[in-house]
A and B are shown apart, each in its own frame.
Chain A
Amino acid sequence: MDISEAIKIRNAMQHSGVIMAYNGTVSDDLMVSLAEILKARLEGLDDTKRSRTVFSVFMEGMQNLIWHGRTEQNPTGMVCISEHDGEMVVVCGNRIARSDSVKLKEILERLHYADKDTIRQLYREGMSRANDHEGPGAGLGLLEIARRATHPISYAFSDVDEQHVDFFLSARI
């Protein structure tokens, strides 16, 4: 990267109030390291409730990235935490199979329009659901994020090739 590109990235991050941003290989070790850094940063805030919520959403987001990357040689993902006007935003992104995106989109659509009571009820039902297919949390992680966010979670899919799409999830806290 030439220096003007680096400055552009720095300016964009500064403009968006980025506290922490990562893009690259994801692993359990990385999650633990980032969690430690984030915890230290959040301790500086007075709002312990918000800090706990941000931490929880970050952890579920990271675990989701790791889970989705488990079959890949070099699993990658991005996570970005920013603060602006007293609001924090956690964004996670990773590449998924196009075939998986159809069902995911349906779930996200449903969650986007669900009220807090409905999400809590879905969460309670999800607590007992076995871990067979969908992942270590089998959808509970997504419900955790939806439940903790102060606004409906938003998402985006961006085309990569015939088999893949990039998936981004954003939660405001």
Chain B
Amino acid sequence: MSTPADLQITATERTPEIQLSASNGLFSMKGESYPEDVAAFYGQIVHAVEQLPSVLNKPLEADIAMIYINSSSIKAIFRIFEGFEAVRRAGQPVTVRWHYTDDDDIMQELGEDFKDRFPDLSIEVKAS
């Protein structure tokens, strides 16, 4: 079953692969992010995530495994996290796993920064 909140976006050299399935309670995002037009790329994703509180009837699990994220994408991803937080507030448990490559301090620290900004979300920052 496909809901308006479902997404299947293929990765490009400068944009990540993104999958969202409201029926399975799954979100994933991996790759690099420095789109030419951040608003155009992330607009639909933020919009879909914002719909989750009203369409999701099970817990949400999110896996994020990024290699490089530019600063304007970080602001867009922040809004995705705000969507996760809204899901949590609407009563569904949310688990976020932030994966980083073993020695990648930059992505590790960014995961910690998101954890700091969203203290009520369960965010696991883990090397993989």
Determine if B68 and A140 form an interchain contact, defined as CB atoms under 8 angstroms apart: no
Question: Are the CB atoms of A127 and B74 closer together than 8 Å?
Answer: yes
A76 at interface (Cβ–Cβ under 8 A)? Answer: no
Please report the total number of A residues contacting B with Cβ < 8 Å.
27
- For A28, the chain B residues whose CB sits under 8 A away are 36
- In the complex, chain A residues 67-110 whose Cβ is within 8 Å of any chain B Cβ: none
**Chain A 25-40 residues near chain B, CB threshold 8 A:** 28, 32, 35
Give which listed residue, B70, B109, B113, B117, contacts A137 with CB less than 8 A. Answer: B70
Partner pick for B106 among A53, A127, A131, A137, CB 8 A cutoff: A53
Whether A136 lies near B78 (C-beta < 8 A) is no
Do B106 and A52 touch across chains, with their CB atoms under 8 A apart? yes
Task: Determine chain B's interface SS by DSSP, over half rule.
Answer: helix
Question: Does A63 make an interface contact (CB < 8 A)?
Answer: yes
Cβ–Cβ < 8 Å partners of B109 in chain A: 120
Task: Give min CB distance, B70 to chain A, whole Å.
Answer: 6
Known contacts A59-B34, A127-B117: A49-B103 contact under CB 8 Å: yes
- Among residues of A, the one whose C-beta sits closest to the C-beta of B14 is A32
**A53 and B114 alpha carbons, distance in the complex (Å):** 19
Q: Whole-angstrom distance from the CB of A116 to the nearest CB of chain B?
A: 11
Q: CB within 8 Å of B: which of A108-125?
A: 120, 123-124
Q: Are B75 and A123 in contact (CB under 8 A)?
A: no
CB B1 to nearest CB in A, in angstroms, measures 34
* CB interface residues, A 130-173, toward B, < 8 Å: 131, 136-138, 140-141, 143-144, 148
User: Are A52 and B104 CB-contacts (below 8 A) given A124-B116, A124-B117, A127-B117?
Assistant: yes
Q: A55 vs B114: C-alpha distance in the bound complex, in angstroms?
A: 22
Chain B residues, Cβ within 8 Å of A35: 34
Does A148 lie within 8 Å of B70, measured CB to CB? Answer: no
Residues of B within 8 A of A128 (CB): 75, 78, 117
A144 & B71 in contact (Cβ 8 Å cutoff): yes
For B68, give its contact among A49, A56, A120 (CB under 8 Å). A56
Contact residues in B for A52 (Cβ distance below 8 Å): 68, 104-106
The verdict on B24 contacting chain A, using a C-beta distance below 8 Å, is no
CB-defined A-B contacts under 8 Å, sample of 11: A28-B36, A32-B14, A52-B106, A55-B68, A56-B106, A63-B71, A123-B113, A124-B117, A137-B75, A140-B72, A141-B71
Interface residues of B, Cβ cutoff 8 Å to A? 13-14, 34, 36, 38, 68, 70-72, 74-75, 78, 103-106, 109, 113-114, 116-117
